[in-house]
Structure 1
Amino acid sequence: MSKPHKQIHLAAHFPGVNNTTVWSDPEAGSHIEFSSFAHFARTAERAKFDFLFLAEGLRLREQGGQVYDLDVVGRPDTFTVLAALAAVTEHLGLTGTINSTFNEPYEVARQFASLDHLSGGRSAWNVVTSWDAFTGENFRRGGFLPQDERYSRAKEFLATAGELFDSWRGDEILADQVTGTFLRDAKAGAFVHTGRHFDIHGRFNVPRSPQGRPVIFQAGDSDEGREFAASSADAIFSRHATLKEGQAFYTDVKRRLATYGRHPDQLLILPAATFVLGDTDAEAEELAKEVRRQQVSGATAIKHLEFVWNRDLSSYDPDGPLPDIDPDPGEHHIARGRAQVRMYRDPLATARAWRELATANNWSIRDLVIQTGNRQNFVGSPATVAKTINDFVQADAADGFILVPHITPGGLDVFADKVVPLLQEQGVFRTEYEGPTLRDHLGLAHPDDVRGERVAS
């Protein structure tokens, strides 16, 4: 008997605080006007996507002591945007990145429970930690938590929020969902938590929401992050979008689930993926080259090189050779608030490898950054892209993809109109939503049902 086809999960990422968006395109729009978010969300819902994903930047990034003017410089509060989108969509899941390093469990749990009620059970929380003191300067907690402490706090943060959500669980707790008044049981919402990071007690004032808890996403790629996801998350926002890397990551994370009494289908792996579509594969390849050159201007190339060199390279010609001087391996002081800095843990080795590549290929600084930077994951005609996505999912390199278009807000439209119908024809993507909640879209059980299974076992 042949193996049944897996159903593909698709989501849309509203591009975050980065230089993914091609601002020079006449179709590029605002990252702060609500009309951009609304257009993006409505397109995703028209295509029957599982959810919209919204990242969050907690501080304006700096380069050389000045605000980095090549990025999106700011955006409205995540909860505010998602709550507004709940009013202009009916089925689309609403996923927001909320930091566990600088917030408190009670306020975050209250916000997500409220969003779940307002949206009819469509909320999801991407649980992240913060790694740098620079961002922490905006908050009382600051950036003093080392990596192991950040994950320790994140685990307790999530567990504490779960206790708050669950303080309204049970048949003995009844409330009028229209007026919010109690009908019975004075214990409803009562909680006590005493732990290493949080010591709180009181009464949670938002009744049990349609999903019980928001769907939990996690985005860390370290060993600690993978364990955190295996123990507590419903889905992983992964960066491994190539076939080989995706299969390795998929296998590694799924095998960890058994340790926590979980099944492989209780955790979805959803890499971020970019795309460029053309009428033919050749046309798409040419468009992709042009997009990469638009994304990496000369100024952007120099700024990117500074992530590695940790030096002011503004005097260098982006169309000239790489610097002869070596990177400064000391504490990073050029680029602040940028996750890319962490990607180059051995800057001297990276510089040597890049010089060898540039010499062998006669690349300029800009050429090198274009060639070594993030390429589009899916490039081709609609038929080619649909086949590639399906091949990846059926080969267990992913359970689906979170798509990141390079034009906001209309860049998702062509995918919705030309690729989604092909996946639907193949029977690997829905033609209609099967249920009202995000858990329904993702094929995830309600937390109360999962708890019942565990108790029974």
Structure 2
Amino acid sequence: MKQVILAAHFPGVNNQTVWSDPAAGSQIDFSSFVHLARTAERGRFDFFFLADGQRLREQRGRIHDLDVVGRPDSLTVLAGLAAVTDHLGLAGTINATFNEPYELARKLATLDHLSGGRAAWNVVTSSDAFTGENFRRGGYLDHSERYARAAEFVRTVRELWDSWTAEDLVADPATGFFSSANAGEFAHHGEFFDIEGRFNVPRAPQGHPLTIQAGDSGEGREFAAAHADAIFSRHGTLEDGKAFYRDVKARVVANGRSPDSLKVLPGVTFALGDTDAEAQENADHIRRQQVSPQTAILLLEQVWNRDLSSYDPEGPLPEIDPLVSEETISRGRTRLTRDPLETAARWRALAEEKRLGIRDLIIEVTGRQSFIGSPATVAEQINAFVQQDAADGFILVPHLTPTGLDGFVDEVVPLLQERGVLRTEYGTTTLRGHLGLEGGA
């Protein structure tokens, strides 16, 4: 049987996180990161995952409460966690649009050394000029160029990591100089980067820290198939997961790689209960916490592209149509839909059919817990996805910080271990080793 890969996503700033719950803690205090990471390691997870954001997002020119908790620097947090964990992989989201290859290659190689081979990089891109205003060169890239720059960025970073070999670390005892005159030497002359010199971090324990890519678009899938070790996706049903899995694995083979060289890891949520019925009640309660009246209006505005602050969250949808424009009411966010008029028509039909007000409609259409049930039911669901090739594993996104993973580790993990699909002890030392990827030890 296939082994289930598990990663823990620190909840952070998103619509899944509930900070109104009395059990919710700090999103920025280091103890919160430590608690979640140690819980994941106790559950023998493969890695810990941090998202990122480069600017406070705005709606109607104002900051919404979902964003005020802030986004600490991922690599700084992960370096701290390297000192308080022993086996858990450490993955950070770093933007390839707003960074430079030499600087990032150095930081990731350093994290790999500090952690003994547990570093990973989630590559993301941006064509968002609003976010780019935070950066000295504007940070703006045309949408058509962002993946091209990212592809060259990844290639350049790997050239830097490969600039050291094992032989380069051996010094001549007579002279004290390294025996190789080429240690760390690199030269890259491309469309986006023109750099040369000597890389000053010796080869990392993993050689190449793990590369993850998040994106469901055709461009994103092709980028992952060519460059990534894992792809972070979102698919709510078994059949959708199978279709995505087949498509991505075929692209990997077309790029001359083994299908096992890319791991498919959907991001998922969960709700547990002593029984399936109780779990469903818990899931419904969580969704109402996640979609407050204010959040319901905020999400509706992102589709309508209008100020809807005067509307009753418990009342009907606006009779006016969405405003279709390149200028959006929301800045720094990914658009909820590419066709707002079609979406509005579909939502109106659903609201009429089920007699839903704005808040209940938003709860209905913007997502739900991926796995809902007793620990036995959730363990069965997770294992079925993996064994039927709808995924290689999952990145779990709890709704509470920092204790949201505790119940899963205490109640679901032992059942997966009993099935023989999740390790009971770590048998490898690097993240590549955990995932069975080339170069792992």
Relative to the length of structure 2, the TM-score reads: 0.97
Q: Is the 8 A contact 1:271 1:401 kept in 2?
A: yes
Tell me which residue corresponds to 2:386: 393
C-alpha distance in 1, partners of 2:45/2:289?
28
Asked if 2 retains the 8 angstrom alpha-carbon contact of 1:38 and 1:88, the reply is: yes
Contact 2:211 2:229 in 1 (8 A): yes
Contact kept in structure 1, 2:4 and 2:392, CA below 8 Å: yes
**Which residue does the alignment assign to 1:39?**
35
Q: Which residue of structure 2 lines up, in the alignment, with residue 166 of structure 1?
A: 162
The counterpart of 2:324, out of the listed 315, 326, 329, is: 329
Q: Which whole-Å CA distance do the structure 1 matches of 2:177 and 2:168 have between them?
A: 8
Aligned to 1:417: 410
Equivalent-residue separation in structure 1 for 2:296 and 2:66 (angstroms): 11
Q: What is the match of residue 52 of structure 2?
A: 56
Indicate which of 104, 119, 122 corresponds to 1:126: 122
What is the CA distance between 1:71 and its match in structure 2?
Answer: 3.4
Q: Using the TM superposition, give the Cα deviation of residue 244 of structure 1 relative to its aligned residue in structure 2, in angstroms.
A: 1.2
Q: What is the distance in 1 between the residues matched to 2:167 and 2:66?
A: 55
Count of residue pairs brought into register by the alignment? 437
Q: CA deviation at 1:16?
A: 2.9
Matches of 1:383 and 1:172 in 2, distance apart?
A: 51
Q: 1:12 aligns with which of 4, 8, 11?
A: 8
CA deviation profile, 1:333-371 (whole Å, cap 9, x unmatched): 3111111x2x31110110011011111111000010000
- Secondary structure at the aligned position of 2:239 is classed as helix
Q: Please state if 1:191 is matched with 2:186.
A: yes
Of 371, 374, 378, 1:381 maps to: 374
1:360 match: 353
CA distance in 2, matches of 1:22, 1:156: 38
- SS where residue 271 of structure 2 aligns? strand
5+ unaligned residues in a row in structure 2: which ranges? none
The answer for unaligned runs of 5 or more in structure 1 is 450-457
Q: How much does 1:52 deviate?
A: 0.2
Corresponding position of 2:305: 310
Instruction: From 225, 250, 258, give the equivalent of 1:255.
Output: 250
1:195-246 Cα distance to aligned partner (Å, 9 max, x none): 0000000000000010001100001211111111111100001112421111
Distance 1:100 1:224 in 2: 15
State the identity %.
68
Q: Is the 8 A contact 1:31 1:72 kept in 2?
A: no
User: Structure 1 residue 209 and structure 2 residue 204: aligned?
Assistant: yes
Q: Partners of 2:16 and 2:307 in 1: how far apart?
A: 23
Q: Contact 2:164/2:183 (CA < 8 Å) preserved in 1?
A: yes
The answer to whether the Cα contact below 8 Å between 2:97 and 2:146 also exists between their aligned partners in 1 is yes
Q: What SS class does the counterpart of residue 125 from structure 1 fall into?
A: strand
Following superposition, the deviation at residue 327 of structure 1 comes to: 0.5
Instruction: Measure how far apart 1:332 and its partner are.
Output: 3.2
Q: Which residue of 2 aligns with 1:454?
A: none
How many angstroms does 1:183 deviate by?
3.6
| Residue 17 (structure 2) aligns with | 21
Q: Secondary structure at the match of 1:269?
A: strand
Alpha carbons of structure 1 residues 58 and 104: separation in structure 2 relative to 1, 3 Å: same
Letter in 2 for 1:372: V
Q: What is the Cα deviation at residue 140 of structure 1?
A: 2.8
Q: Secondary structure at the match of 2:187?
A: strand
- Normalised by the size of structure 1, how large is the TM-score? 0.94
